[in-house]
Amino acid sequence: MKLVTFTRDQAAEIGVVVDHTTIVPLGNVAPDMIALIADWDNARPKVEALAAARLETVNIASVRLLAPVPRPGKIFAIGLNYADHVAETGMQTPSNQIWFTKASTSVNGPYDPVQIPRGSLMTDYEIELVAVIGNGGRHISKDDAAAHVFGYCVGNDVTERAWQMRNTQFCLGKSFDTHAPFGPWITTSDAAGDIHELGIRCFVNGDERQSSNTRHLIFNLWEQVAELSQAMTLEPGDVIFSGTPGGVGMAMKPMTMLKAGDVVRGEVDGLGHIEASFVAE
């Protein structure tokens, strides 16, 4: 099942995608995506019934898709989590997971423009598999972690490298407005297949820059959920960016940062794609 947040006037709505081109609005099933996720056991039969009946439909091309969770309670992202990305940075493979946060105000729609911050010469892309937490909890074991993930998206951990590298904490360089686009929808866990066997790719102006597979994650998603939940209670709608493979602009020779007019597309097998034009702030 593919679940979206969208606007056709001003107010945000939630819906289920059928036949790739059509949205069935979910009306009064839940007020927003986090509420839908939190009440999924009760809401799912209603969603399935509405999807089957198709009493109201909306052409997906006629609406604006928002990030599926427009304002997550928490956004965490892991660094240095593909071997080829570690190698291109010249750093050592981490023995422990390296986590940083992205501000909730950095969330952006899957096809909305992304800002190159005022004065920035070092804006970069990082296409990633994104997980959305369903059943929350604390001290979740690795063996139980899959049951706590509601679904998956494609994300771009857009990074302002100068701000990232100016100190040991990455959060400012990762948290500029519009620098966490993800979507285009949440593919629920039961429909995503083997999440650790998915191709992941990035294209800049049509040129392939990143190409890998989630099987190459150093710390897999279940290990990530287990680690985070030792420190904090994970809640419905929390978002995890699971790491980017090699091929980022910072590691190219010569270094190739994004500029206004560039178009970045990210894909993960079975989860769809996101695409953004980069614009000057």
pLDDT mean over 257-277: 98
Judge residue 72's burial from the number of C-beta atoms within 10 Å of its C-beta, 0-12 exposed, 13-18 middle, 19 or more buried. buried
What secondary structure does DSSP assign to 30-67, as a single string?
A: -SSHHHHHHTHHHHHHHHHHHHHH-SS-EEGGGSEEEP
pLDDT value at residue 2: 98
- pLDDT tier at 105 (50, 70, 90 boundaries)? very high
Assess whether pLDDT exceeds 90 at residue 10.
no
Peptide bond into 31 cis (omega under 30): no
pLDDT value at residue 167: 86
pLDDT in tens, 207-241: 999 999 999 999 999 999 999 999 999 999 999 99
pLDDT in tens, 32-54: 999 999 999 999 999 999 999 99
- pLDDT tier at 142 (50, 70, 90 boundaries)? very high
pLDDT mean over 136-164: 98
Q: Which helix (H) or strand (E) holds 22?
A: strand 22-25
CB atoms near residue 132 (< 10 Å)? 26
CATH architecture of 75-280: Alpha-Beta Complex (3.90)
Q: What is the mean pLDDT of the chain?
A: 97
Q: In the chain, which segments carry CATH 3.90.850.10?
A: 75-280
What is the pTM assigned to this prediction? 0.97
pLDDT value at residue 228: 98
pLDDT value at residue 91: 85
pLDDT value at residue 120: 93
Residues written for the chain: 281
Assess whether pLDDT exceeds 90 at residue 9.
no
Q: Which helix (H) or strand (E) holds 226?
A: helix 221-231
Task: Please give the structure tokens belonging to residue 35.
Answer: 């509420």
Assess whether pLDDT exceeds 90 at residue 60.
yes
Residues in a beta bridge with 81: none
